[in-house]
Structure 1
């Protein structure tokens, strides 16, 4: 009997098989209302990761998805794709041009879903956020995190996912900072100040 083939980590080849025609433009380049979400990916020693790949997926400003799995029905917004993909450069930097999303219903079957209501009798919503996947060398699987926004403090305080993280310093790793043309969100893969990642 042949021995089991060992698991392989994600290597530099990932850039060959994962081209995305629109690249970092989740929103059509130059479209009004767009913001840049920029950041740097660093490893456990704080060194930049020059060959990572960042993917983003999000709702539009009304909290709707152009996807058949949206229980409210898919909604298409002109020039907006909801998905971006950007490799890091030699300094570990990445950037995605997009729209700031709106709030979305909570996970199905949870107390935050669109059906059950909160103390006020209104459905509980997730705060505006962007889902982020990170692919990089030395990793067997992608890591998944979220970007929340600093100007949504009240919504962030009610968000069921963000609220499930007990330590304030860990929650802070999921909140972007404002910049002149959008937001900054740095990703630390390991070590002190490690970004919170989710097991999905």
Structure 2
């Protein structure tokens, strides 16, 4: 029997800040005893992990060009073989020494986030074509009602980036560079995220 659902009213939404750090990174804000270590903190790999170790730094900027000092950033990615640390992975066994997921609350003075991870391998798109190596980013902060998704691609992967089926779907090609990290030293990258205005990062509806 079908029941009417008009009595179910939509709950009010609110932005993530300023309490997101209390719930997600309590040690970071000085609340000890909840977790031994904040979930997703630290390196995404241990000494036995395979692949190239890389460092990613960046800042989330608002529409006025100011750094968001209370943003929380998470990443999710494949390992060096292109396999995800997920029960739904069917292409092979992912590296057990690589987490595949990390979280950074950023620096409260500068807004800069930091990840120490492994450069990912290529993974297939839903039609079987291989995507370029990339890392998925999720951002929450004050003024954001729903977390924003974007991707970071690698500047040295020119051929793979050109053939990437997701990048190919971006209508305005002049915005593709907002998804390409900048070299920032040996095995290090800079990936700034701009929410609005000049150089606004491409976000994905996931």
Q: What SS does the corresponding residue of 2:202 show, helix, strand or coil?
A: coil
TM-score scaled by structure 2?
Answer: 0.82
- In the other structure, the counterpart of 1:54 is 73
2:63–2:196 CA contact under 8 A, matched in 1: yes
Structure 2: 5+ residue runs without aligned partners? 1-6, 26-37
Match for residue 144 of structure 1 among 140, 144, 149: 149
What is the number of equivalent residue pairs in this alignment?
A: 184
Alignment partner of 1:106 out of 125, 135, 143: 125
Is the 2:24–2:39 contact (alpha carbons within 8 Å) kept by the matching residues of 1?
no
Question: Does the CA-based 8 Å contact 1:10-1:135 persist in structure 2?
Answer: yes
**C-alpha RMSD over aligned residues:** 2.1
2:205 maps to 1:199: yes
In the TM superposition, what whole-angstrom CA distance separates every residue of 1:106-143 from its partner, at most 9, and x where no partner exists? 02xxxxx22xxxxxxxxx20110000000101111100
Q: Any runs of at least 4 consecutive aligned residues in structure 1 with deviations exceeding 4 A, and if so which?
A: 29-32
The 2-side partners of 1:49 and 1:24 are apart by: 21
User: 2:172 maps to what in 1?
Assistant: 167
Quote the offset at 1:77 in angstroms: 3.4
1:16 equivalent in alignment to 2:19: no
Task: Please give the per-residue CA displacement for 1:60-92, whole angstroms capped at 9, x wherever unaligned.
Answer: 1110112111131442332x1111100122212
Structure 1 residue aligned with 2:46: 28
CA-to-aligned-CA distance 1:39-64 (integer Å, 9 cap, x gap):
11110000000000010000011101
